Amino acid sequence: MSATEDRLTNDLLRPLFNTSWRFYVLVAVLSSIVLAGLGAFAFQMWRGFGLTGLGWPIYWGFFITDFVFWIGISHAGTLISAILRLVDAGWRKPVTRCAEGITAFALMIGGLFPIIHLGKPWLFFWLVPYPNNRLIWPNFRSPLVWDFFAISTYLTGSLLFLFLPMIPDFALVRDRATGLRSKIYGVLALGWRGTTRQWHNLETAMSIMAVAIIPVAVSVHTIVSFDFSMAPVPMWHSTIFGPYFVAGAIFSGIAGLIIAMAALRHFLHIEEYLTPKHFDNLGRLLLLMALLWGYFTFNERLTVWYGNHEAEVNTFMVTQSGTFSPLFWTMVVVNFVLPVIILGIKRFRTITGCVIASFGVCIGMWLERFLIVVPSLGHKYFPYSWSFYRPRPTEIVITAATFAGMVLLYALFSKFVPIISIWELKQGAHQPHQPDPIEDVEIAEAELHRTHA
Amino acid sequence: MDRRSFIKLTAITGTSAALASCGSPENTVIRFVPDDEMAPGLAEWKPSVCPLCNSGCGLNVRVMQADVETTRDGTRGVVQRAVAKKLEGLPTHPVNQGGLCARGQAAIQLTYHPDRLAQPLKRSGQRGEGKFEPMTWEAAVAELVGKLDALAAAGNQKGLTIIGDGRRSQRASLFDQFVAKFGGTLSVRHEVFGDAVLRRANGMSFGVEQLPTYDLKHTRSAINFGGDILGTWNSPVAHANAYGAMRRGRPGVRGAYFHVESRVTTSGAGADEWVGITPGTEGVLALAIAHVMLEEKLLPAVSGRATALIDGWASGLADYEPARAEKITGVGAARIAHIARQLAEQSPSVALVGGPALAYSNGLFTALAVNALNQLFGTVQKPGGIAFTPQGVTADSRPSRSTLAAFASAVAGGTQPAGVLLLDGGNPVFASSKAWRVREAIEKFPYIVSFGSFIDETSALADLILPDHSFLESWVDALPESGSLVPVVSVAGPVMKPLFDTRASEDVLLDVARTLAKPVDFPWRTFDEMLKATIDLHGEDAWSTAQSHGGWWPETSQGEAASGQPPTARGAASVTPPSPSAGDAGRFIDPVLAGDADVYPYQLLPYPSLQFLDGSLAHLPWLQELPDPITSAMWSSWVEINPTTAESLGVSLGDVVEVASSLGAVRAPVFVNPGLSPTVIAMPVGQGHTNYTRYASGRGQNPIEILAPATVAGTDAFAWAATRVKVTRVSDPDGSLILFSARGELRERPYEGVTR
Amino acid sequence: MAYRWGMAVDLDRCTGCQACVTACRSENNIPTAGEQQASRGRAIHWIRVERYFEGEFPNVRVKYRPVLCQQCDAAPCEPVCPTYASSHNEDGLNAQIYNRCIGTRYCANACPYNTRFFDFFNPSWEKPLHLQLNPDVSVREVGVMEKCTFCVQRINAAKVTARGEDRTVKDGEIQPACAQSCPSKAIVFGDLNDPDSEVSRLAESPRGHKLLDDLGTRPKITYLEGR
């Protein structure tokens, strides 16, 4: 093992072995917010769902918005890392694990919302097909049952996709640690010895997973979009929703990833590994997605306006110029105008620029989902039944708790797992201080074969 | 499951059930042996009578078993008992014919209301403080007898009087007779939205001082001047039934319907033509229509008693030519002619009048003008026209009565001695203008007895409360004044046992009458004997038929009504001698409005709400949560303002405004109503109770309070639509306006024209 | 032959009087939400009378339209329910099976007529108001959807009676609470499979139309326009 590799290992394993007091404070604060959320959920189950701000006929609100938002964020990792893996983009290597972590955690959180939002959450397992004494299967025609399959498949796939490349790094930790820690990482490393056969199996498994996870990821958000587009609700019942949702998901996913990377870079002092180059590349991707999102949104709204179907125009009008217009135009600014300006001008496409744009996009994409869910439900066909929705504390606390939960899970993740794939980086990294550590993939691979030959 | 595990499981569940019931008394229920004969799970239908308004609709009550909490020999427990479950309209009843309005159906909550008084109460705190303590019936009756004896001993019999609601029934008659025989003062039967004007006008025009029945079933065209016939006025269920038949009951014939008013009501909603009019000028429109008919010779000119009362009828109503009427009424001359032609073409026609049209100073003129129009139509006492329901109880049991305003001033002036006051509904403290000083007058009485089932603003002043049975627990009756072409006496016995320690007020009164030192003599011992005595007049088996049918009416009722026989006024109520002249009521005089037009630019239209009528039903939770048909509001009161007016005042939906008359001000949120005249501010009556059970107390505002004490010229009736107000914006929406249609959308296509 | 229950609402007879709304509440144990909950949109009305203004004073008109569950043949609420709580029964009714419902509220979203209502809390009746409850209708617990059933308890009772007398249900034998109470007889209920029934006759009326017909939900309620 070269000195460079040694340094790399030390740099990246440092968070696992050294923990500052600040970290404990962070965990304590985040945990208390999460606990508040759990308490709110328990209270809501005890007292009744009426603690939310929902009412006739707007029966979906914050929770479903959160659901779609977090499932969207989950498209950060898997899709990005899988696609980059398949096209073998070398710069991806320090990014993949950050991204895949986001996927796994966002999915776990997003997957909770269909349960939280149930009138009877304790019966959520009725969505699961299992032999039961009610002699009744779930209704396979229901998009909610599709959701169950899509999300559980995607979660399984992403966890595998996350776990597989962690094996060599777990082995590394196992070898460096002592005592209990060594044992735990030993179990996680699944007996990794770094044999050629093991490397070969890992590479094969990763290739298969990378291919398999892409259609799953695309389908999962398409199916989430089906929750809306299958219902005859004004501005829901649209064929554009599948790709629109997938694009939106990737859009918000990249934004989430940029924020997470910037945070890791700052707090874990791994500036050398997550370089401006990475942010520049992701910024370009984000710009692309912003343009794509703008295109979809324009398309969606133009067809509605031009089609001039009465009920749809009503919904269109309340978002465009009615009570929801402040939210709508905020969304347009932070989702389109702001990212295009910041990321489209090279001078602004710095790390700070990217982070600002990403925060905007996260807010904007949350608003986008809110603006899909609520105005349509509040403006269905008969104006007599139009209504308002205002969230109540329960929903706000639970929503806040999921954001805290995401940060908490991610912080803990970065504590227990090397947040940058050490072995992947080693494949090509001799000089981690170089702006682009992986310049020549071929050399790296040749070296890899030589090492393990 | 094998035997062993079965036994184990049984033991476990048994033990846990026993443990679970330990400690919490509600789990240890004592079940008494049922004292009723009833078939478990089977419903029985029994007739009853709706007690809420003057219509006297027949009820069909669904009775089934339920677990009733009760006390037996000092032990709390549960007993299975037959109780009322649902009120439906009695299909055979000539008035409502199976239908029943929203209020009537909610009447069941009178019986089961959580704040219903369960035993006699005696005032324990200061008067009006609302503190009462329970007492026994024996003590309560003895106390009342003592007070009345003292009154008689002092020779102050005149000091006994009664204030009640306006229901026509033998119950009311019994109360009145009691007061009369005791030597007391004439009773006050108070209704805010009373119909004294129309009764008087009908007496003048047709010789029948009674509300009319409209035979809409056979009408080809009808014009309604402001009567909310389908919502709150007179006999709404009977009207709605006839209205449905007028519209779609005859193959190939659809009766035309015109509605004239200054605020759209449910009755105006279905009109073929809704005519917005300057309030208080309805009579001018009626005569302008007559003018066109006479001038164009659309109908043969008639002259009779009704037309003779109108100045200038004989000369063709020169003062009411459409062009001049347009200036007064705001209805276009061409439109007037068009309506006149339509009405003349489609005969038989009828003109209806009621509601605010009669609540201006010139109300009597308006009623006489519409009556004259009816005479011109030639449909008085004819199929498709107006009729007067023959009365089933011929003996006039209604002594002439004083109005609440006159009563209050008599008490204040000392001409009415204050002795013992009996309260039998009507809630006069709530349902009166501040200016009448009714509360002060009532408080002058040293002893006040209430027979109501609830504490309200008036009974809170009582010294003694003798709670009545609910109408489902006792004999109940009604004498419909209109709504049927045949005579009707609605009578029914109890459909369930009393839930509480209450007594039928009629029987209490008869009991008191017997027990007095100088007994008041009645030929009956109990109320049902009184009812039987009146029904017995109609034949030998009339009483038994009445008990099973929910009342007495001629057997041929359905057939006669359907065959279109001309209804006649057989045995009609009091007939006044023909009046030679109507005096000032024979010509149009601008309505006099209380208040300076410069300070108070708008007219206040308080209208009986569809849910609560005059406010007496605001304590029923079903009605509180019933969306108002125009605004969709629940649990609220509000101020209706025309869109243009609202714009000029700078207010919109939900903003809180203050509506002030010279007598005071009320604050309520705004509802912008496109069906309201720009010069009118409308408010529903019913909310604004300060003390009326948990469901109504402290909710909304009561516009009656700020009404000026005006009367309709030529009568002593209250002109409740004749007050001027000003409106000022107070604040942004305070959330007190609760709409079922939450956004308050008025239009079916709100964005029509915005994008196109 | 199987029954296919349907309804006709004659808007020319309807006066907007709200009698049907109260009748439904009384028959079907619909809880009273109270002021605070009503202000949050939790008031439940299985049948509502929609009101629309047309024009401005003095040439204004008000249209009333009672809206209840349309018992669609192609009901959007049914396929979306993951637990078959919302499903078609043999008489063509959209049944709502309360104890299968887990409260996803998806059916309410899918319903274009907004006739489904959610129970946000366990219902309560302040004693002794509970004595009024109809023992033939279950009280719905927290977390489930509820809606108009066409008074299925009355339908079933009539079917049992008819079967006992070895005949089919006669036209007019069943009246849901709303139709029974209607003072102007604007609501007619009956079997659409019986070509001679009053409701079948009205369903063929040239005045008739279905609500949101273009959505393809195939409702079983026909609305008869005034003019």
pLDDT at residue number B18: 55
- What chain A holds in terms of domains, given with CATH numbers, is 3-441 (1.20.1630.10)
pLDDT at A168 over 70: yes
Domain boundaries, chain B: 10-112, 121-192+393-552, 213-386, 602-741
Work out the average pLDDT over B611-634.
95
CA distance to partner chain C, nearest, from residue A124 (Å): 7
Q: What gap in Å lies between CA B645 and CA B325, rounded to an integer?
A: 24
A384 touches chain B (CB under 8 A): yes
pLDDT at residue number C45: 96
- Residue of A305, A317, A386 with shortest CB distance to B742: A386
pLDDT at residue number C38: 95
Give, in words, the CATH class of B602-741. mainly beta
The larger pLDDT score, comparing residue A94 to residue A149, is at A149
At A75-127, the pLDDT tens digits run 877 777 788 888 877 778 888 888 889 999 999 999 999 999 999 999 999 98
Give the relative orientation of helices A351-378 and A241-267 as an angle to the nearest 10 degrees.
Answer: 140
Tell me what ipTM this predicted complex has: 0.96
At B125-160, the pLDDT tens digits run 899 888 999 999 999 999 999 999 999 999 999 999
pLDDT at residue number B568: 45
Neighbours of A172 (CB within 10 A): 21
pLDDT at B680 over 90: yes
Whole-number Cα distances in Å, B342 to B239, B294, B336, B339, B370: 22, 14, 10, 5, 17
The C-alpha angle C57, C58, C60, rounded to 5 degrees, equals 65
Collapsed DSSP state (helix, strand, coil) of residue C52 = strand
Which chain A residues have a beta carbon less than 8 Å from that of B755?
Answer: 305, 308, 313, 317
At B727-755, the pLDDT tens digits run 999 999 999 999 999 999 999 988 876 64
- Of B434, B491, B451, B380, nearest to B93 by C-alpha is B491
Contact predicate A44/A193, CB 8 Å: no
Tell me if B755 and A385 make a contact (CB, 8 A cut-off): no
Q: What gap in Å lies between CA B2 and CA B282, rounded to an integer?
A: 86
The larger pLDDT score, comparing residue B142 to residue B21, is at B142
pLDDT at A356 over 70: yes
In this structure, of A150-154, B33-37, B179-183, the range with the lowest mean pLDDT score is B33-37
pLDDT at A308 over 60: yes
- Of B201, B372, B363, nearest to B279 by C-alpha is B363
Give, in words, the CATH class of B121-192+393-552. alpha beta
Residue B277 has phi, psi (to 5 degrees) of -135, 150
Q: Which helix (H) or strand (E) holds B75?
A: strand B75-89
Give the relative orientation of helices A276-307 and A351-378 as an angle to the nearest 10 degrees.
Answer: 20
Q: What gap in Å lies between CA A321 and CA B705, rounded to an integer?
A: 43
Which position has the token pair 């009333």? Answer: C64
pLDDT at B528 over 90: yes
Work out the average pLDDT over B537-557.
86
At B374-393, the pLDDT tens digits run 999 999 999 999 999 998 77
Tell me if A386 and B749 make a contact (CB, 8 A cut-off): no
Q: What gap in Å lies between CA B64 and CA B46, rounded to an integer?
A: 11
Residues 62-91 of C with CB under 8 A from A: 67, 76, 79-84
Q: pLDDT category, A5, cuts 50, 70, 90?
A: confident
SS (H, E, C) C114-144: CCEEECCCCCCCCCCHHHHCCCCCCCCCCCC
Work out the average pLDDT over B2-7.
63
Task: Specify the length of chain C in residues.
Answer: 227
Whole-number Cα distances in Å, C225 to A312, B118, C2: 25, 50, 29
pLDDT at residue number A75: 85
Tell me if B102 and C60 make a contact (CB, 8 A cut-off): no
Q: Any idea which fold B10-112 has?
A: Phosphorylase Kinase; domain 1 (3.30.200)
Collapsed DSSP state (helix, strand, coil) of residue A176 = helix
At A24-36, the pLDDT tens digits run 999 999 999 999 9
Q: Which helix (H) or strand (E) holds B123?
A: strand B121-123
Tokens of A1: 């093992």
A103, with CB counted inside 10 A (0-12, 13-18, 19+), is buried
Instruction: Name the DSSP letter for residue B716.
Output: -
Q: Which domain holds residue C19?
A: 5-224
Tell me if B741 and A384 make a contact (CB, 8 A cut-off): yes
Contact predicate B377/B340, CB 8 Å: no
pLDDT at residue number A427: 72
Q: pLDDT category, B229, cuts 50, 70, 90?
A: very high
3-state helix, strand, coil in chain C (%, to 5): 25, 20, 55
pTM here is 0.91
pLDDT at B394 over 70: no
Q: What is the CATH number of the domain that holds C71?
A: 3.30.70.20
Q: What gap in Å lies between CA C189 and CA C150, rounded to an integer?
A: 9
Strand C221-224 to C5-10 pairing: parallel
Which position has the token pair 């269109």? Answer: A316
Which chain A residues have a beta carbon less than 8 Å from that of C119?
Answer: 119
Which option is the CATH number for B213-386: 3.40.50.150, 3.40.50.10470, 3.40.228.10, 3.40.50.300? 3.40.228.10
Which chain B residues have a beta carbon less than 8 Å from that of C10?
Answer: 244, 247-248
pLDDT at B12 over 70: no
Work out the average pLDDT over B650-656.
96
Q: What gap in Å lies between CA B753 and CA B628, rounded to an integer?
A: 28
Q: What percent of chain A has pLDDT over 70?
A: 93
Report the domain count for chain C.
Answer: 1
**Spans in chain C with pLDDT lower than 70:** 1, 227
Which chain B residues have a beta carbon less than 8 Å from that of C53?
Answer: 674-675, 746-747
Q: pLDDT category, B74, cuts 50, 70, 90?
A: confident
Residue B258 has phi, psi (to 5 degrees) of -115, 140
User: Which residues are registered as beta bridge partners of B48?
Assistant: B59
Work out the average pLDDT over B276-291.
95
Cα Rg, chain A, nearest whole Å: 23
pLDDT at residue number B580: 59
- Of A56, A397, B694, nearest to C40 by C-alpha is A56
CA distance to partner chain B, nearest, from residue A384 (Å): 5
Whole-number Cα distances in Å, A220 to A126, C29, C50: 21, 42, 40
Work out the average pLDDT over B335-357.
95
Q: Which helix (H) or strand (E) holds B223?
A: strand B221-225
Work out the average pLDDT over B158-178.
91
Collapsed DSSP state (helix, strand, coil) of residue A350 = coil
B559 touches chain C (CB under 8 A): no
Q: What gap in Å lies between CA B103 and CA B91, rounded to an integer?
A: 18
pLDDT at A339 over 90: yes
The C-alpha angle B161, B162, B164, rounded to 5 degrees, equals 165
Tell me if B86 and C126 make a contact (CB, 8 A cut-off): no
